[in-house]
Structure 1
C-alpha cells in the first residue's frame, strides 16, 4: 500500500488526508483512497488531519495542537470506549506529550491507553499494529530499548510493509548498541518510504556511523520538506546539534534560534542556545536560555549542563541547586517508568559518588549496552580508580565497529584521560587533541582539563632519523 501511495503526487495525498479529518488512523499510516487527476489544485489539509497524521506517524507536533487532539480523543472515548483505533491514537499522543514536556506522568497514561487498544482489538488484519508501534515508541521514551525492540519486531511481524514500524526499531537497536541492525532497518525503511520524517531518521543513523556530511544534508532536506512549523523546528534543532558537535558555534546558534522562532515550545533548541552561548562567552544569555528550557522541559540532562556551567563560573552553590534538582527529576521520571540511570551515573561519576556510578552503570550496561553507556561506564570506572577496566569500555565507545563510528569530543576526551592515567602518553596525547579538534568547546569544565593534560604531556619525543647516532 505504501509503495503505491508514495508514487502519488503530494497534493493528492494532502487532499485525501483532509477528507478523512477526525477519523482514526489505522496503524499510523493513512490509508488513502485512489483518485484520478482532476486538473484542479487540492485544498490544504485541515489542521485536525495534520495533527492526527503527525501523531500517528511519529512526526513532531506543536504542543497546543497536541493538547487539542488529546482532549478530543479523550472526549470521544468517553462516549465510545470500544474504539481500539482511537485508544491507539490517544496513547501515541500521550507518548509525544511526555517526550516533549519531559513529564513522565504521561507515560503510564499512554501505556494504559495502548494496552486498552490491544485488548479491544488484538487479532485480525494487522494485529493492531498501531498500538504495537505506540508501545515501541513508549518503551524508547522510557529508555527501555529491549522492550522497544520486542514491540517493534511484533509490529513488523503484524505488517512488514508498514513504514511507521521501522523508526522505533531503529531507535531501539541504536540504544542497544546494534548499529548494523539499525542501518539494515533504515535501508528497509528507505525502500518503503521517503519524505522529511524518513530523512530525519536517516540523519540520526548517519551521525552514529560518523557520516556527518550525510547527516547534515539529510536534516537540511528534511527541514526544507516539512510542511508544519513544529516539524521544521524539530529538524532544525537537530541540525543545530550536529553543528554544535563539530564546534561550529555560529551555525549552531542560528539553527537553534530559528528552531525557537518556528516553535516557541522547542525547548531542546533553547538548551542548545544555552550550550552555544556559553561557549561564545555570552554567559548571561546562556543562563537565561537554560533556565527557560528547564522551566518548560525539566530534563535531568539540562540540569546537569546548567550545573556544570555554574561550576565553571565558580558558582558552587548555584551548581549544587541544579544537581539537587537533577536527583529530584530522576526520581520523578522513575515514577513514570523512565530509566534515567545513564544521566544519574554520569552525574555521580563527576559530582557525587564514583563507586555508586560504577554500580549503576554496570547494571545499565547489562540492560542496554549502547555506546553512550559504554562511555559513561568507562569514565565512572576511571573516576573510581579502576583504570584498566575503564580503558576497555572507553575503547568500545570510540571503536568504529562496535561504537558505530560517531565522532564525539567527550568520548575522545574520556579515552585520552584514561590513557594518560595508564601512562600511555602517545595515545593519550592523540585522543585529547582529537577531542579538541572535534569540538574545542565541548564542555565548560572539561575543555580546560583537556588543555592542562595536553600541556603536561608535552610534545611527542623527536624521532631520530635512521642511520644517525
Structure 2
C-alpha cells in the first residue's frame, strides 16, 4: 500500500525516509537530520519550513485536529441564519472552519448560542448538527460524558429533520461513537457519511479513529491515503498523518509531520494538541525532560489542554520531582476527571507506599467508569487493566475477552494478554501479547508485558530481549512496572556464553547437559595411498 507524503509516494518499506526532503529545518534553513535533533529545539522556536509555507498558501478550511469534533461541520449555516459574529462563538466556528479545535470558553459560548437559536428555529437541521458536534467535543475535552446523551439527541434531531443527504449529522454520530469507544458504531456512521459524500474529507478522520479502534491497520491506511488526496495541505491532516505514523512505528516521520503541523497551527488550542503529541513521542523515547518541555509549551498555548497537564505530571514523576508531579496529576483530575488519570495517579501513590491515597484514586476510577457507563461510554479496557493489577484478574479476563471480540485493537490485545498472565494463563496470554507487539506501536509497556509472560513460561532469552527492549525504549514507562522490569532483568542475569542453544535459561538455572552419545564406529577403510 502506498501513502502520499507531500509530493512523493512511498511504500511502507521506505516510508521512514520519506520526510527527509520536507522535514523541519533549523534557523539557517538546514534540515534537521532526525527526531533527536528535532527535540533538541525549543518548542517555542518552531519555524515553518518552505513546504509548510507553501502549505499555508493553499490551505483549505474544514479539517479536524484529533479531538476537534466541531471541525467536522461546515462553517456556513446553509442560509438558515447568519453565521455568528467573531465573538467567542464566531471564533469557535472560525476555528472549526480552519480545521482546529475551539478554545473551551469559546466552545461554551457557541453551545449557548446554538441552544438559544434552536429554541426559536427548531427546524434548523444544520444547527442541530453543529450543536451535537459541539457537545461531543466539550465532553471529550472535559471528560464529562453527560454531554454525550445531549449530543446524541441533537444529532438524531438533525437526522430526523433532514433524513436524506445529512452528511454533517452522520459525521457527528461517528465522532460521538468514537468518543464513547464504540468503534463498530463509529465505523458504520463514518462509512455512511463517506458513501454519501466521498469528496467531503471531514468524515475521514472519524473513519480513521474507528478503524484504529478496531485494529484495522489496512483500513486506517486506506482512509488516510484518501484524506491526504482530498486535503494534504491542512495542518490537521499533517497532525493526523503524524499520529498514524507513530502507531506504525515511523517515529521520525511522525515527529516531522507533527512539528510541521505545530508550525502551521494558527489557533492556540490547535497548536497545543500538536505540541502535546510531540511531547508524547519524546516520552515514548524515554526522554522525560524533553517531553516536559513540550507539555509545558502546550499549556502555555492552551491552559485548558488537560492531557498536557497529566503528561506533565508523568514526566515530573520520572524526573524525581514527586511533589510537583502529584500536584499536576491532581489538577488534571479536577479539570478532566478521566479514569486513566485516576489509575495513573493511584499507581504513582502506590509506588510511593501511600496505600490509602492509592485506594482513594482507585475508588475514583471505579466511580468514573460507572458514571461513564450510564452515559454510554465503554471503559472496559481501562477497568480491565485496573482489575488485572489491583483487583480480580479473572474478572479482568472475562471483561477483556468480551472487549477484544468487540474491538480487537493492539491495545486491547495487550490488556487481555496481561490479564491472562495475572490469572496464570500464560500460554494463551503470550498469543495476545505477541499480537500487541507485532501489530501495535512500539511502546515499552507492550514489550514489558510480553517479556514477563515469556519469563513465566521459562523462555528466558525471549524474556530478556523484550524486558530489555522495554527499558531501552523508556525506563520510566511506569512507576510500578518500571522497577519491576529492572528487578526482572537482574534475576535473568547476563546472556550466557555458548550460543543460541543456551539462551533460554539464566545462569545457574540451566539443566545439566545430557551426555553426548558415543559416536558410531565408522567402517574400516584402507589406508590412503601415499
Q: Deviations over 1:367-419 (max 9, x none)?
A: 111110000000000000000000000000011xxx14x11100000000000
- The 1:227–1:316 alpha-carbon spacing in structure 2 relative to 1, beyond 3 Å, is same
Which position in structure 1 is the counterpart of 2:155?
Answer: 114
Are 2:226 and 1:181 equivalent residues in the alignment? no
Distance 1:197 1:137 in 2: 16
Distance 1:464 1:93 in 2: 61
- The 1:422–1:26 alpha-carbon spacing in structure 2 relative to 1, beyond 3 Å, is closer
Distance 2:394 2:409 in 1: 21
Are 2:188 and 1:150 equivalent residues in the alignment? yes
Counterpart mapping for 1:109-258 below 5 A: 109-123=150-164, 127-193=165-231, 194-258=233-297
Contact map agreement 2:275 2:297 (CA 8 A) in 1: yes
Are 2:460 and 1:421 equivalent residues in the alignment? no
Counterpart mapping for 1:89-104 below 5 A: 89-104=130-145
**Aligned partner (choices 284, 293, 307) of residue 346 of structure 2:** 307
Distance 2:364 2:448 in 1: 27
Structure 2 gaps, min length 5: 1-53, 63-69, 79-84, 502-515, 517-530
Distance 2:267 2:463 in 1: 47
Distance 1:11 1:427 in 2: 51
Contact map agreement 1:260 1:266 (CA 8 A) in 2: yes
What SS does the corresponding residue of 1:415 show, helix, strand or coil? helix
Distance 2:400 2:59 in 1: 47
Are 2:373 and 1:334 equivalent residues in the alignment? yes
Contact map agreement 1:152 1:165 (CA 8 A) in 2: yes
Larger CA deviation: 271-280 vs 195-204: 195-204
Which position in structure 2 is the counterpart of 1:74?
Answer: 115
Q: Deviations over 1:185-230 (max 9, x none)?
A: 1011000112111111111110111011111111111111111111
Give, in angstroms, the shift of residue 55 of structure 1.
Answer: 4.1
Give, in angstroms, the shift of residue 53 of structure 1.
Answer: 4.2
Distance 1:248 1:219 in 2: 17
Structure 1 gaps, min length 5: 1-7, 18-24, 34-43
Give, in angstroms, the shift of residue 28 of structure 1.
Answer: 2.0
Are 2:393 and 1:354 equivalent residues in the alignment? yes
**Aligned partner (choices 28, 31, 37) of residue 73 of structure 2:** 28
Contact map agreement 1:300 1:330 (CA 8 A) in 2: yes
Are 2:363 and 1:324 equivalent residues in the alignment? yes
Give, in angstroms, the shift of residue 71 of structure 1.
Answer: 0.4
Give, in angstroms, the shift of residue 180 of structure 1.
Answer: 1.3
Give, in angstroms, the shift of residue 54 of structure 1.
Answer: 3.5
Give, in angstroms, the shift of residue 464 of structure 1.
Answer: 6.2
- The 1:58–1:311 alpha-carbon spacing in structure 2 relative to 1, beyond 3 Å, is farther
Q: Deviations over 1:144-188 (max 9, x none)?
A: 000000000000011000010100000000000001110111011
- The 1:26–1:122 alpha-carbon spacing in structure 2 relative to 1, beyond 3 Å, is farther
Distance 2:246 2:72 in 1: 28
- The 1:155–1:172 alpha-carbon spacing in structure 2 relative to 1, beyond 3 Å, is same
- The 1:223–1:48 alpha-carbon spacing in structure 2 relative to 1, beyond 3 Å, is same
Give TM-score, length-normalised by structure 1: 0.89
Distance 1:27 1:459 in 2: 54
Give, in angstroms, the shift of residue 433 of structure 1.
Answer: 0.4
Contact map agreement 2:342 2:361 (CA 8 A) in 1: yes
Which position in structure 2 is the counterpart of 1:373?
Answer: 412
Which position in structure 1 is the counterpart of 2:100?
Answer: 59
Which position in structure 2 is the counterpart of 1:395?
Answer: 434
Contact map agreement 1:387 1:421 (CA 8 A) in 2: yes
What SS does the corresponding residue of 2:298 show, helix, strand or coil? helix
Contact map agreement 1:27 1:131 (CA 8 A) in 2: no
- When the two chains are superposed, the root-mean-square deviation of aligned CA atoms in Å is 2.4
Contact map agreement 2:272 2:305 (CA 8 A) in 1: yes
Q: Which structure is larger by alpha-carbon Rg, 1 or 2? A: 2
Structure that is richer in helix per residue? 1
Across the two proteins, how many residue pairs are aligned to each other? 435
Distance 1:453 1:332 in 2: 38
